[in-house]
Amino acid sequence: MGVRCIFEMAYRNNTVYPQCGCKTLKHYRCKVMRKSNLFNALLNFFSETDAFLLAKLLKDNLYKETIRYQEIDIVESQKKDLILMAFEERVLIPVKSRSGPAWEDKILDFRKDGHYFIPSFVKAMVNTICETGKPSCDTAVRKTLTHVIQEDLSGFIKLLQTIMKHAYNYVFETGLLNIFFKETVVDGDLHDIIDIFVICGMISPCPQKSLMTGLSWYEINPTLYWDKTFLS
């Protein structure tokens, strides 16, 4: 009996490898995944199990506009925790919302037809890691913004870097943006630039925090901090 036939028999018998949650036929592919650039890069930020599962989630769904819960090919016992972690890292965002598009208003949806999406900046970052073996924010930001901005991107990147440097726990108060905007000398309207950063999944408004404090707040996607050289 060939190796493939043995794999298929084990798959039909529902043999599962607990360390990755995969049935035998898929476990061979899992061994290949463990050698991938993405998995090895994610090991710098996550445990081995979390890095593996997150790499699998991203690789399987990177080119989809939206992802249904039932399409996420992870065993049920690990799937909800993985989705929760991916959402906390702003790698995977639920479509369902309490009121608006802000990340903090999103609701985890574990129904079979619950929908999620990967922000466009995260897709660019993952593609960069897959190609080079390491995260590069400058490359990922440029890949993302070139689709919506035709002019030189240096000022936009400098503005983003300045925002990140002055954020605390990935959150910043927008009252400082006018000062940062003047320092970076970016052409265009500040509100339009913020909207572009939001649409690309780099930042998101914090309406609940804003209501509590009376100030306007935004949060930064944590994946922007994966590249430690971006702010140096």
At 216, is the pLDDT very low, low, confident or very high (cuts 50, 70, 90)?
confident
| Residue 211 CA: distances (Å) to CA of 206, 207, 208, 215, 216 | 9, 6, 5, 7, 8
The percent helix, strand, coil of the chain (3-state, each to 5) is 55, 10, 35
pLDDT tens sequence across 48-103: 999 999 999 999 999 999 999 999 999 999 999 999 999 999 999 999 999 889 99
C-beta separation of 108 from 83 below 8 A = yes
Distance CA(89)–CA(104), nearest Å, equals 12
The confidence score (pLDDT) of residue 188 equals: 80
H or E element at residue 172: strand 171-173
Confidence of residue 211 (pLDDT cuts 50, 70, 90): low
Q: Give yes or no on whether 34-118 and 137-225 have one common fold.
A: yes
CATH 1.10.10 fits 34-118, yes or no: yes
3-class SS of residue 44: coil
User: Please, which pLDDT band fits residue 17 given cuts at 50, 70 and 90?
Assistant: very low
H helices then E strands: how many in the chain?
11, 8
137-225 in CATH: which number?
1.10.10.10
Q: Where are the domains of the chain?
A: 1-33, 34-118, 137-225
